[in-house]
Amino acid sequence: MDADPDGVFRICVSDVDNFKMINSLYGDDVGDQVLTYLADYLSRRTLDGVCGRYSGDQFIVLVRETPMHNWSWVEDMIADIVANAPVPNLNIKLGFYNHIDTSLSITEICDRSLLAVKSVKHNYTSSYAVYGGGISQRHMMAQLYEARFMESIQKREFVLWYQPKMDPYRNKVVGAEALVRWKQADGTVLAPGEFLPVFEKDGLISRLDEYVFEEVCAFQRRWIEEGRTLLPVSVNLSRNSIYRKGVVDRYLDLAARYRVPVTSIPIEITESAAISSREIQPLANAFIQAGFELHMDDFGSGRSSLASLNVLHFRVAKIDKSLVDYIGDPQGDKVLKHTMALMDDLGLVILAEGVENETQRTFLMKNGCDEMQGYYYAKPLPEQDFIDWVADAFHQKV
């Protein structure tokens, strides 16, 4: 590429699905044969370019890009590779990245073709993908996340961070909210906003909710074992979980298995669209019957509604950060003041979310807010940091 700055290039990576299976089924020698076969095949096909091993069972080919009107030759080539391979049913996948942006680093260039190949891993209908073209980057990330979901559940790559909830009058921790993070193999941590929308769309989120619930059960069990006073730790329940049959029973079973009181794990619900559905009411009643506490999340954000207060028996209403952000604005102050008066009248515990500064805290305290959660006190913290924070900052006996 350096020698021809005006050239247009394409990169392709090959990847064998379940290569480990080949080693364990046929032995390492046959595994090696498959690798040499692929190396040989791809280098023979690479006329004007370079070909090499990328890592493990992945090979990478860089060629000068020739115009291509259809991709049927890729299907033909894959069929040919499979037909002549030393093992039957070789499951090979190819990922392409065309019109390489040569200002990118080699790693970034390779990543793009790897992203394409990963998007079709464990996919039985397609054996190749092209970065960008047709499939949008977003769509590809979604496929990548979905493909890795179950494995991540098994490997416990979804981790919980805990954000303290405070009683501002006594300056005391009164609970926490468990917030999920996705810890990648390379150590980077994805925030929920980056992956939850994908899992919301395909319904995997209800599996994740249950996983989070179980992790909190385990957390509470450890807390009991260590002889500390139990703090309620709430979990978020997505809309999908509301529609999933038997969610209350499964949560009850889990709590019983870990021998933790259900009152120690309040359920946060933003009913969003579910508010208009009939499912939410029986479900909310079933949770309450079973002894759970319900908290209305994001109150005032438009994802929760006043009408829901008529029919659902929440114990706590969490005022959304968007309302808290308006503190200081004359109209915003009024809205919040009257909202809190209404909640108080309804006998709800009022918790303000996203409290970031002293002005907000003072205003909220003056207007009868019971509890607060926000960066003013603490950001969501990894488990051990949370335990230390509770112990240190307030010298609470925990």
Phi, psi dihedral angles at 61 (to 5 degrees): -130, 130
* Residue 278 beta carbon to ligand C2E: minimum distance, rounded to whole angstroms: 21
Phi, psi dihedral angles at 140 (to 5 degrees): -65, -40
From the list ligand C2E, Mg ion, none, pick the one residue 65 interacts with, judged by a Cβ distance below 5 to 8 Å according to partner type: none
Q: Which of 22, 196, 247, 283 binds ligand C2E (CB under 6 A)?
A: 196
173 within 8 A of 395, measured Cβ to Cβ: no
* Residue 321 beta carbon to Mg ion: minimum distance, rounded to whole angstroms: 7
Kindly state whether residue 193 participates in binding ligand C2E, applying the rule CB under 6 A.
yes
- Residues forming the site for Mg ion (CB under 5 A): 236, 268, 297-298, 353
* Residue 334 beta carbon to ligand C2E: minimum distance, rounded to whole angstroms: 22
Residues 233-262 that bind ligand C2E (CB under 6 A): 236, 238
Instruction: Between 49 and 192, name the residue whose CB sits nearer to ligand C2E.
Output: 192
From the list Mg ion, ligand C2E, none, pick the one residue 212 interacts with, judged by a Cβ distance below 5 to 8 Å according to partner type: ligand C2E
Residue (of 99, 93, 101, 55) closest to 75 by Cα position: 93
In angstroms, the Cα distances linking 281 to 249, 291, 316, 396 are 16, 16, 17, 38
* Residue 274 beta carbon to ligand C2E: minimum distance, rounded to whole angstroms: 12
d(CA 152, CA 198): 15
* Residue 297 beta carbon to ligand C2E: minimum distance, rounded to whole angstroms: 5
* Residue 270 beta carbon to Mg ion: minimum distance, rounded to whole angstroms: 7
Instruction: Between 62 and 316, name the residue whose CB sits nearer to Mg ion.
Output: 316
Instruction: Between 168 and 380, name the residue whose CB sits nearer to ligand C2E.
Output: 380
Instruction: Between 95 and 175, name the residue whose CB sits nearer to ligand C2E.
Output: 175
Residue (of 255, 181, 272, 196) closest to 220 by Cα position: 255
Coil, helix or strand for 182? strand
322 within 8 A of 329, measured Cβ to Cβ: no
Coil, helix or strand for 342? helix
The footprint of ligand C2E (CB under 6 A) covers: 163, 179-180, 191-193, 196, 205, 209, 212, 236, 238, 268, 297-298, 353-356, 373-375, 380
